Amino acid sequence: MAPATLKLTNRSPRKPIRGLPASVEIPVDVTVDNVKVLIARQCGISDHNRIGLFNPATNKTLKDRNAIVLADADISRGKELLVKDLGPQISWKMVFVIEYLGPLLVHPLILFLRPYIYPWATPTPLSDTQRLAFGLVMAHFVKRELETLFVHKFSNSTMPVFNIFRNSAFYWIFYGLVSAYAIYSPTSLAATADEPLVDLVGTVIFVLAELANGSVHLHLSSLRSRGGTERKIPTGLGFSLVTCPNYMFEVIAWVGAVIATRSWGLALSVALGITYMAAWAKGKERAYRKEFPDKYKKKRYVMLPGLI
């Protein structure tokens, strides 16, 4: 079939892309990602991920980088694309690596600086429960890093680099600073705890839930090809109960850690984390219902049975 010519319009007239051609000629089967490469080359932009393409009728971004551009009825009919420079980009994999690195750096740093952080308290060695708390936090975020590097497959390639500060703040501040400060204080409940059975119960809950969470992540990864953007209906462990059992098991794991550590700081971090995960889970439920209206079994609860 003959190539199609699409008009290119700056989506942000106040910040136009310099050198944006008036139009671009594309094959009928070209993907969103390939059009970005073509436009970036003509504009002299080295990273094509900076190019954002938008539907001129709805003003919505074309998210699926592997989608056929002309398969969009509005674009095919109007023969136009809105284009915007999204600014410097960073890969989603690197975003998660940086996010999870926060607690892995902050907790050892707080331990190293412990004599200076709590000068008002009588210096005492770490209790067994505080050492356990350190091990649980480190284990969780090392697992997160390994999953990011070797398991997760991301549908979006990149995000604006400046968003990394917003995305990382929660992990660095709450799971990092707030949790570490609360756990390693000489006057914390973990410092004075002497109940090995409570430590054991919390640890067993944590370990079993982390294993279940990892199993769900492996299953989700198996549903998408490397570099792909396709979505399939997940099944198996926990999916008959909630939309996102990975979030459910993560919450259970953190509840186990809170039991073991007796930490108000960790409990606060988990509570805030639940609000974020609940929003993400609701979004996934909407996406499944929209994409698979006839095949997907609707879930009443997206993350925690009987609650969320």
Answer yes or no: is 302 within a domain.
no
Q: Is pLDDT above 80 for 127?
A: yes
Question: Which residue segment(s) compose the domain that 30 sits in?
Answer: 4-87
In the prediction, which pLDDT does 120 show?
85
CATH of the domain at 32: 3.10.20.90
Give the distance, in angstroms, between the CA of residue 112 and the centroid of all CA atoms in the same chain: 30
Same domain, 78 and 190: no
Tell whether 164 and 213 lie within a shared domain: yes
Return the sign of the alpha-carbon dihedral for residues 83, 97, 101, 263: positive
pLDDT mean over 35-43: 95
Per residue in 207-249, pLDDT (tens digit) is: 999 999 999 999 999 999 888 888 899 999 999 999 999 999 9
All residues at 6 or more sequence positions from 70 whose CB lies less than 8 Å from its CB, including other chains: 4, 26, 28, 29, 30, 76
Q: Domain boundary residue among 87, 120, 148?
A: 87
Q: Kindly list the distances between the CA atom of residue 154 and the CA atoms of 24, 64, 90, 103, 210, in Å, as whole numbers in the listed order.
A: 28, 11, 13, 23, 21
Looking at residue 127, the DSSP 8-state letter turns out to be: P
Of 21, 56, 87, the residue that ends a domain is 87
- Cβ atoms of residues 104 and 141 within 8 Å: yes
Both 75 and 111 in one domain: the answer is no
**The domain boundary residue, chosen from 66, 87, 108:** 87
**What is the domain count for the chain?**
2
Q: Transcribe 2-45 into DSSP letters.
A: --EEEEEEES-TTSPPTT--SEEEE-TT-BHHHHHHHHHHHHT-
Same domain, yes or no, for 157 and 173?
yes
- HEC sequence for 108-120: HHHHHCHHHHCCC
* 44/100 same-domain check: no
Residue 303 lies in a domain: no
Give residue 1's pLDDT band: very low, low, confident or very high (50, 70, 90): low
pLDDT over 80 (residue 2): no
pLDDT over 70 for what percent of the chain? 100
Residue 296 lies in a domain: no
Question: Do 32 and 64 share a domain, yes or no?
Answer: yes
